[in-house]
Amino acid sequence: MAVGCTKKPKANSEPEVKNQVENNQNLEKKEEVENMILVGRKAPDFETEAYHNGKFINLKLSNYLGKWVLLCFYPADFTFV
């Protein structure tokens, strides 16, 4: 025995589904661009391991606040493949 009223959900038409997918993709792209690191924008704080003076040390970007910093990423060194 069913209690209460229920309404059969409306089936999404193909154009509606396509628009929803496109809207979701546009939102994802917008968020991606907003989170992208760009010249002139403040870089997010991070902590990493670095090789300096013959040993590995931990570095945190916030330790260099107020100083000029050049970040270079070169993934080929120390990758033991």
Measured distance CA(22)–CA(63) in Å, rounded: 42
Model's pTM, two decimal places? 0.43
Nearest Cα to Cα of residue 50 among 23, 24, 78: 78
Strand partners, 50: 57
Q: Which residues contact 46 (CB under 8 A, 6 or more apart)?
A: 60, 61
Show the CA angle centred on residue 48, arms to residues 43 and 52, nearest 5°: 115
pLDDT in tens, the chain (81 residues): 555 566 665 665 667 767 777 777 776 777 676 667 777 778 888 998 988 899 999 999 999 999 988 877 776 666 665
Dihedral angle at the C-alpha atoms of 28, 33, 37, 43, nearest 10 degrees? -70
